[in-house]
Amino acid sequence: IPNDKIGRISDIAAVHSNHISAAVAEGGKVYMWGQCRGQSVTIPTATPLLYLHDVLACYSTPPVMHEPLVLYAQDDTSILDCLRQAFDDP
């Protein structure tokens, strides 16, 4: 990585299967390079993203998530609670 404009790197990630890499500079700026949506980016390029993992989710093909997608954050009801609700006859 040409380090003269970026400065010190605080974190770095790469995905072999997607041929994409990303880095976070010490000031918090996120950079990416590699295969970006079918185009070859050979020089680390600043992104508007705040997190390193967002580069992999936004720019790689296919997109990669570092965590499972949670569509709802509701706790699962236990079997005892289900039985209580089923047999609660007021």
The 10s digit of each residue's pLDDT in 28-67 is: 999 999 988 888 999 999 999 998 888 888 888 877 777 7
Other CB atoms within a 10 A radius of the CB of residue 53 amount to: 15
The 10s digit of each residue's pLDDT in 3-19 is: 567 888 999 988 888 88
Does the global pTM surpass 0.75?
no
Helices marked H in the chain — which ranges? Answer: 3-6, 52-59, 79-86
Burial of 16 (0-12, 13-18, 19+ CB in 10 A): exposed
- The pLDDT of residue 24: 94
